[in-house]
Amino acid sequence: MSDYKHILLAIDLSDDSPLVCQRAQSLAKLYNAKVSIIHVVEPLSFTYGSDIPLDFSSLQDELLLQSKNQLLSMAKTIGVDEDDCHLVLGRPETEIHKLGIEVGSDLVVVGSHGRHGLALIFGSTANGVLHGACCDVLAVRVKDGN
């Protein structure tokens, strides 16, 4: 196995994100690898569907602004440049795969809650990233909020 050269860190900005960041940072130091970070915001229309005739644009803009501030703050704590931070609107699995290819990552680090039951059947972001990735994926086990 060759050393990792470019790690893509996918975070959800939850309370567990610092642990996932720490794992990626440790690997980056070990392999002297570059780190890029992605956070994907799902459009509110995905969540609430088109059944609700409301304009979510200002709420979506505020969510993106808050997410950007949190993303940059986390990046700063692990020494990742702002140019290597990516805030994207879309489906997490799809956008993580796309950016991974664009930046040439050879490892994706993502948190995993170890879901069970219906959550497992319907899938998770970590599972979606794992099954569509063109490189290695490290799923960092984090505590489940329930």
Digit-coded pLDDT (tens) for 3-15 = 999 999 999 998 9
Residue 89 DSSP class: E
Evaluate whether 131 touches 31 at the Cβ level (below 8 Å). Answer: no
pLDDT, mean over the chain: 84
CA 130/CA 68 separation, integer angstroms: 25
Q: Which segment, 55-59, 78-82, 131-135, is predicted with the most confidence on average?
A: 78-82
Q: What is the pLDDT of residues 16-26, one digit of tens each?
A: 899 999 999 99
Domain assignments of the chain as residue spans, ordered by start? 6-141
Q: Which of 130, 132, 127 is CA-nearest to residue 98? A: 132
- Domain 6-141 grouped into CATH 3.30.70.20: no
Residue 59 is predicted with a pLDDT of 82
- Residues 6+ away with beta carbon under 8 Å from 139: 110, 111, 112, 126, 130
**Confidence (pTM):** 0.83
Question: Quick check: helix, strand or coil at residue 47?
Answer: helix
CA 48/CA 44 separation, integer angstroms: 6
